[in-house]
């Protein structure tokens, strides 16, 4: 197991600091902010309050059945203008740019940027991601069935389907380094990878639940079919095959995606994605953490289940703990490389507001040898 990443410099904040506007609004953000016991207790109280009233079962089923339509509508409205400037991408995930030249390295590597969330959930919108699309009967059944049994049935069906795929005849089959981004949205991760990574053996796959999102990627002037393959894919549909065979990928990327999936389906999804990795391949994740500003801002009547909510536009979001994500990946047979929480203080100068964001970042690797 790799040693934990050295924590960045912590910038303390206290009551005196927060009540000094002249000093506070000189800056935009502070990384790795430590919360006081009182602040965490207040956040927990807000969550208990906004989750005290759950949506009726028929409404929950409606959001599940119509999930694809909600995401299509989201991308029709926002197109490629919602996510901007993921400057932190290659600093935090250097696995995405293994052959950068020195000049590219200097231009591309930045710390986490608050631009990434400048139009995001904290201000009343949402992040990109996948939701499952099921019949109402399936949804009702999954709510009462045990997760392990459902997962085993789905994984067996998916395995049977993908075994029929020819290992030598698929997009990117001649590549030496293959990356898959799940929940690619309009391409705000895919295109920086293609621009930054100069590996001639690189091939990038990207998929999204939304047909509109995939159309935006394919119609982008920077889309290069010789280095990239974009496709529509419903992660929760076990009959929806991937275009590549098992054990063919070096990296799978999940950026604000897993949180959009029905919690009962998450283990099946992670297990299915882990089978696509080569031995030594990695899953990279960045997603919402428990008590993020977005969770605290939900009102009563928007909660679907514990820490799982529906936004005003019909898309859904879950807020994780580190232990929950660790259990998902370890159960899928992966080993932990990184699992950290980033509590971030952001300042909106125009509105003179402070905002506390909580994200979790993970790296999990497929063992190079089967466990004894």
Q: What is the pLDDT of residue 312?
A: 87
**347 vs 5 pLDDT, higher one:** 347
Q: What is the pLDDT of residue 171?
A: 95
CB 181 within 8 A of CB 155: no
Check whether 197 has a pLDDT greater than 80. Answer: yes
Q: What is the pLDDT of residue 29?
A: 62
Residue 81: closest CA among 27, 45, 125, 41: 125
Looking at the chain, the number of H-run helices and the number of E-run strands are 14, 11
- Which residue matches tokens 């990109």? 128
What confidence tier does 88 reach under pLDDT thresholds 50, 70, 90?
Answer: confident
Q: What is the pLDDT of residue 133?
A: 25
For the segment 84-93, the average pLDDT, to the nearest whole number, is 78
Residue 275 lies in a domain: yes
Supply 191's token pair: 């295109």
Q: In what order do the strands lie in the sheet with 177-182?
A: 29-30, 335-348, 353-365, 277-288, 249-255, 177-182, 202-208, 228-232
pLDDT in tens, 122-165: 333 333 322 222 222 233 333 333 334 445 444 444 444 444 44
Check whether 96 has a pLDDT greater than 80. Answer: yes
What's the CA gap between 245 and 249, in Å, rounded?
9
Domain that holds residue 305: 35-96+171-366
User: Domain tally for the chain?
Assistant: 1
- Which residue matches tokens 């069935």? 145
Check whether 115 has a pLDDT greater than 90. Answer: no
Residue 303 lies in a domain: yes
CB 40 within 8 A of CB 296: no
Of 106-110, 192-196, 340-344, minimum mean pLDDT range: 106-110
The alpha carbon torsion through 319, 341, 251, 272 (nearest 10 deg) reads -40
What's the CA gap between 262 and 19, in Å, rounded?
40
Backbone angles phi, psi at 228, to 5 degrees: -150, 145
pLDDT in tens, 214-258: 999 999 999 999 999 999 999 888 878 899 999 999 999 999 999
Cβ neighbours of residue 90 closer than 8 Å, sequence gap 6 or more: 96, 97, 100, 105, 108, 109, 192, 196
Residue 113 lies in a domain: no
Q: Kindly tell me the burial class for residue 166, based on how many C-beta atoms sit within 10 Å of its own C-beta (0-12, 13-18, 19 or more).
A: exposed
Q: What is the pLDDT of residue 81?
A: 53
Q: What is the pLDDT of residue 78?
A: 62
Check whether 116 has a pLDDT greater than 90. Answer: no
**Sign of the CA dihedral 96, 308, 121, 321?**
negative
What's the CA gap between 194 and 224, in Å, rounded?
9
Q: What is the pLDDT of residue 304?
A: 93
19-28, 94-103, 104-113, 344-353, range with greatest mean pLDDT: 344-353
For the segment 2-24, the average pLDDT, to the nearest whole number, is 38
pLDDT in tens, 23-81: 444 446 667 777 888 888 999 999 999 999 898 888 887 877 777 777 677 777 666 55
Cβ neighbours of residue 163 closer than 8 Å, sequence gap 6 or more: none
What's the CA gap between 2 and 132, in Å, rounded?
34
Residue 8 lies in a domain: no
**329 vs 344 pLDDT, higher one:** 329
Residue 322 lies in a domain: yes
Average pLDDT, the chain: 76
CB 213 within 8 A of CB 205: no
State the pTM of this model: 0.74
What confidence tier does 372 reach under pLDDT thresholds 50, 70, 90?
Answer: low
What confidence tier does 167 reach under pLDDT thresholds 50, 70, 90?
Answer: low
- Which residue matches tokens 């109280």? 45
CATH number at 47 reads 3.40.50.150
Q: What is the pLDDT of residue 143?
A: 33
Residue 209 lies in a domain: yes
Residue 349 lies in a domain: yes
Residue 19 lies in a domain: no
Q: What is the pLDDT of residue 369?
A: 75
For the segment 89-118, the average pLDDT, to the nearest whole number, is 55
For 101, other C-beta atoms within 10 Å of its C-beta total: 11
């Amino acid at each position: 197991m790799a040693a934990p990443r050295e924590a960045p410099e912590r910038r303390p904040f206290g009551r005196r600091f927060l009540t000094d506007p002249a000093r506070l609004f000189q800056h935009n953000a502070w990384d790795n902010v430590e919360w006081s016991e009182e602040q965490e207790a207040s956040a927990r109280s807000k969550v208990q309050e906004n989750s005290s009233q759950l949506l009726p079962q028929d409404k929950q089923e409606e959001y599940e059945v119509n999930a694809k339509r909600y995401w299509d509508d989201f991308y029709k409205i926002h197109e490629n203008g919602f996510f901007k400037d993921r400057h932190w991408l290659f600093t935090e995930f250097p696995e995405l740019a293994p052959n950068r030249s020195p000049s590219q390295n200097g231009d591309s590597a930045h710390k986490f940027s608050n631009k990434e969330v400048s139009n995001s959930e904290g201000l009343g919108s949402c992040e990109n991601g996948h939701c499952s699309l099921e019949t109402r009967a399936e949804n009702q059944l999954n709510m009462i069935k045990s997760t392990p049994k459902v997962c085993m049935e789905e994984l067996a069906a998916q395995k049977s389907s993908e075994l029929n795929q020819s290992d030598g005849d698929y997009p990117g089959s001649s590549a030496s380094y293959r990356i898959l981004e799940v929940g690619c949205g309009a391409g705000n991760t895919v295109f920086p990878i293609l621009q930054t990574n100069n590996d001639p053996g690189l091939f990038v796959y990207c998929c999204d639940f939304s047909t509109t999102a995939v159309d935006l990627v394919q119609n982008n002037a920077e889309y290069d079919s010789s280095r990239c393959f974009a496709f529509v894919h419903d992660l929760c549909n076990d009959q929806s095959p991937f275009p590549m065979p098992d054990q063919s990928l070096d990296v799978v990327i999940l950026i604000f995606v897993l949180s959009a999936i029905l919690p009962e389906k998450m283990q099946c999804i992670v297990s299915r994605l882990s089978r696509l990795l080569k031995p030594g391949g990695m899953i990279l994740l960045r997603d919402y953490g428990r008590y993020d500003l977005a969770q605290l801002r939900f009102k009563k009547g928007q909660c679907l289940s514990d820490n799982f909510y529906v936004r005003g536009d019909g898309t859904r979001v879950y807020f994780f703990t580190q232990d929950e994500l660790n259990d998902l990946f370890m159960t899928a047979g992966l080993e932990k490389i990184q699992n950290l929480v980033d509590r971030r203080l952001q300042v909106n100068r125009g509105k003179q507001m402070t905002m506390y964001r909580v994200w979790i970042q993970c790296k999990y690797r497929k063992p190079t040898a089967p466990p004894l």
